[in-house]
Amino acid sequence: MKENNTTSLCLMFFFIIIFLTLPFAEAEGGTMELTSSAFDEGGMIPSKYTCDGADVSPPLKWGSLPEGTKSLALICDDPDAPMGTWVHWVYYDIPAKTKDLSENISPDKHPLPGGVQGINDFRRIGYGGPCPPGGTHRYYFKLYALDTLLNLSPGATKKQVLKAMENHIIGYVQLMGKYRR
């Protein structure tokens, strides 16, 4: 009985260590990076990129993708919205060779060769900037490295993209910006 308890404790300790260190696992070549020249991590998003300004997408740049990355997916959402998480941008099948997105990505369904945009919670294809009803909200730009193309039709929802990505995510990074009205 004592031996079983010791074995169980050792296994439990092992899984706790694995669970705690998993978020810090690095991609081949280093940890994925995601930045914007428009705002810093945790910083305020300029009004230019919101409904109070031109409502254009911010410039984004990334690096250190995992080996075997075949495509990227980008989701931007606001977990502080009063009705639950609000989706601002769904963009998938971004070619792995792409290293950045310039400011003001067109709301076309295919703004890049190979890239496809989904529908946001404003019920539009493409980017819909921060537009909180009041207070400070956080906006997470989440970049996923995938080992496959998703091959979804234009206009897919966040839920459809997340479902298609299951078991294909080989890397992940996020950039958080804030906006206040």
pLDDT tens digits, one per residue of 2-46: 554 544 443 343 333 333 333 444 444 459 999 999 999 999 999
pLDDT band per the 50, 70, 90 thresholds, residue 139? very high
**CATH code where residue 46 lies:** 3.90.280.10
The answer to whether residue 98 sits within a structural domain is yes
Q: Does residue 102 lie within any of the structural domains?
A: yes
Distance CA 129, CA 137 (A): 12
Residue 8 domain-assigned?
no
Residue 95 lies inside a defined structural domain of this protein: yes
Return d(Cα 38, Cα 91) in angstroms, integer. Answer: 19
Asked whether the whole model's pTM tops 0.85, one would answer no
8 against 171, higher pLDDT: 171
2 within a domain of the structure (yes/no)? no
126 in any annotated domain: yes
On whether residue 17 sits in a domain, the answer given is: no
Q: What is each CA distance from 87 to 3, 39, 68, 91, 164, in whole angstroms?
A: 51, 19, 28, 11, 17
Structural domain boundaries, residue 107: 27-180
Q: Which pLDDT does position 108 carry in this prediction?
A: 75
pLDDT, residue 99, reads: 96
pLDDT tens digit sequence for 46-98 = 999 999 999 999 999 999 999 999 999 999 999 999 999 999 999 999 999 99
Considering the domain boundaries, does residue 171 fall inside one?
Answer: yes
